[in-house]
Amino acid sequence: MEKKKLKELQNKLLDMKNDILEDVASENKRFEEEKEVESYAEEYDLANSILENNLRENLEENDYKLLKQIEKALNRIDDGTYEVCEVCGKEIELERLTMIPYATKCARCAKKKE
Ligand SMILES: [Zn+2]
């Protein structure tokens, strides 16, 4: 891969990482604000509240997983193994990395697992 392209993907990964960290920060802020409202609103719909909490937990879990994948990809760039499929050791398609910059498997291996 060209150095320029690699740098581009690295920046993309860093942007994604920042987005997630910002999301998590604003989620936490929202949660704090909600807690304050909840303590005053006695007629708060409990069912909706539970649904909200589940949604938030799922989102955070997905964010967390994605964050780990992004960090792994950034480490792989540092190691010089970014383009190497972690399953078969062949090169990951550039097209695939452009679409999914945190991919660690080639298209064939990713398909096999699904
Ligand atoms: Zn592979």
List pLDDT tens digits, range 82-104: 999 999 999 999 999 999 999 99
Taking the centre of ligand 1 as the mean of its atom positions, its distance from the CA of residue 108, in whole angstroms, is 6
Taking the centre of ligand 1 as the mean of its atom positions, its distance from the CA of residue 86, in whole angstroms, is 7
Main-chain phi, psi angles of 37, to 5 degrees: -60, -45
Share of the chain above pLDDT 90, in %: 55
Taking the centre of ligand 1 as the mean of its atom positions, its distance from the CA of residue 76, in whole angstroms, is 15
Taking the centre of ligand 1 as the mean of its atom positions, its distance from the CA of residue 15, in whole angstroms, is 26
- Does position 44 have pLDDT exceeding 70, yes or no? no
Taking the centre of ligand 1 as the mean of its atom positions, its distance from the CA of residue 18, in whole angstroms, is 29
In whole angstroms, give the CA distance from residue 6 to residue 54: 37
